[in-house]
């Protein structure tokens, strides 16, 4: 076998492996069974119209408009749709972006997905328990910790003060 053909076969195998990985990942995310599943009609009944727009339709609240943007009390932030604990207040910081920002979520509470809504891939953050949209993750977070910025809609969160620790 000539060297060129050998290299070509290796490249072909790599390409196939990668495309399989990519399609498997997106399938996994799309086919995730959430602990809490409801019809759109039921979500509409259970949420305010703004909560439905953000959590179930992946909408975004206006920057600097959310109640938790400059909120720094000690406690936990849970999913506004299902009460799943998502963020500890100790990981919240002021990114000056106009949205509540955290450098990480509570372990195994958040699902990472990819969306192409703006024509390029962004890491979308969803509640692992009900699949509701929370916001996006960017790589411009605090360099001295994770380097990640979880950019979250206030309306997707509900704050629980620390005295009611889970
Ligand atoms: Zn949830």
Q: Is the pLDDT of residue 164 over 90?
A: no
What's the gap in Å between 44 CA and the centre of ligand 1?
A: 14
- Residue 32 is predicted with a pLDDT of 82
| Nearest in space to 70 (alpha carbons), one of 1, 7, 146, 154 | 154
Q: Give me the phi and psi of 22, to 5 degrees please.
A: -60, -50
- What are the tens digits of pLDDT across the range 6-48? 555 555 554 544 443 333 334 346 678 899 999 999 999 999 9
Residue 26's pLDDT is 42
The predicted-structure confidence for 137-156, as pLDDT tens digits, reads as follows: 999 999 999 999 999 999 99
The model's pLDDT over 79-96, given as tens digits with 9 standing for 90+, comes to 999 999 999 999 999 999
pLDDT one-digit tens code per residue, 105-121: 999 999 999 999 899 99
Provide the 3-class DSSP secondary structure of residue 126: strand
pLDDT recorded at residue 16: 42
Domain 39-164 has CATH 2.170.150.20: yes
Determine the average pLDDT of the residues in 56-83: 97
C-alpha 3 to ligand 1 mean position (Å): 54
Cβ pair 47, 153 in contact under 8 A:
no
Three state DSSP letters for 59-107: CCCCCCCCCCCCCCCCEEEEECCCCCEEEEHHHEECCCCCCCEECCCCC
pLDDT at 11: 53
Phi, psi angles (nearest 5°) of residue 92: -90, 140
Residue 82 Cα to ligand 1 midpoint, Å, equals 4
d(CA 88, ligand 1 centre) in Å: 15
Predicted local distance difference test score (pLDDT) of residue 66: 97
Active site residues: 151
């Amino acid at each position: 076998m000539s060297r060129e053909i050998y290299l070509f076969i290796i490249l072909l195998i790599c390409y196939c492996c990668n495309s399989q990985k990519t399609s498997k990942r997106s399938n996994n995310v799309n086919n995730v069974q959430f602990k809490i599943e409801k019809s759109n009609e039921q979500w509409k009944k259970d949420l305010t119209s703004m909560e439905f727009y953000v959590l179930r339709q992946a909408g975004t609240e206006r920057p600097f408009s959310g109640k938790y943007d400059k909120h720094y009390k000690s406690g936990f932030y849970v999913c506004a749709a299902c009460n799943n604990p998502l963020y500890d207040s100790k990981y919240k910081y002021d990114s000056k972006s106009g949205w509540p920002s955290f450098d990480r979520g509570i372990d195994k509470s958040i699902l990472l997905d990819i969306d192409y809504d703006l024509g390029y891939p962004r890491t979308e953050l969803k509640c692992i328990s009900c699949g509701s949209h929370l916001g996006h993750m960017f790589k411009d977070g605090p360099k001295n910790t994770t380097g990640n910025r979880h950019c979250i809609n206030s309306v997707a969160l509900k704050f629980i003060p620390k005295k009611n620790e889970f």
